[in-house]
Amino acid sequence: MFSTDDFQKMQWHDNAIHALRIIEGELCGDLALDIDFIVEWLPPIEGAYRFRVAPSDLTFHEVSDLVVSINYAAASAAVEPMTIHEIHRESITFPNGYSSFAWKIELNWPPNSFISFCANSFTQSQRMEPITTGAQNLSPGERKAF
């Protein structure tokens, strides 16, 4: 399990997002992303890269100010899993003194898309052991294997 304290050592580049879910809370809810977390980029063998990938839940806690801008139409593309380019985090303090983080998840697919919000923390848990594959995301069959 990873958490907010692990942010500096986390890398989500090219991780596929299969779903996002808003979980109702008492004051603020959570934002849960169903991702294929690339646990490890393996050295190429005969020019072909391989990856260790595990279905994981990336959940941001006490979320507010959610903006979702995902535009498949601009890319003239069919809907398929989104992929993360980078996740940015910035410390913020509200006028009432409450501290939190402003998050921005930049997507590399579809292009010019993002998810932004405020949240005080995140947790990430793997739902199964990583699978070694030649793709950066898992097939529906591999995801169901767990």
Cβ neighbors of 49 (< 8 A, separation 6 or more) are 41, 42, 134
pLDDT score recorded for residue 107: 96
Structure tokens at 76: 């003239």
pTM over 0.95: no
Cβ pair 15, 37 in contact under 8 A: yes
pLDDT tens column, 12-42: 999 999 999 999 998 899 999 999 999 999 9
Question: CA 23, CA 70: separation in Å to the nearest integer?
Answer: 20
The dihedral sign for the CA sequence 72, 29, 31, 141: negative
Cβ neighbors of 76 (< 8 A, separation 6 or more) are none
Question: CA 58, CA 17: separation in Å to the nearest integer?
Answer: 10
Q: Where are the domains of the chain?
A: 2-144
pLDDT score recorded for residue 55: 96
Q: H-helix or E-strand containing 78?
A: none
pLDDT score recorded for residue 74: 84
Question: CA 28, CA 48: separation in Å to the nearest integer?
Answer: 44
Cβ pair 107, 82 in contact under 8 A: yes
pLDDT tens column, 130-142: 999 999 999 988 8
What does pLDDT average to over the chain? Answer: 94
pLDDT tens column, 53-85: 999 999 999 999 999 999 988 888 788 899 999
Average pLDDT of the segment spanning 96-103: 94
Q: Which residue has the tokens 């990430």?
A: 124
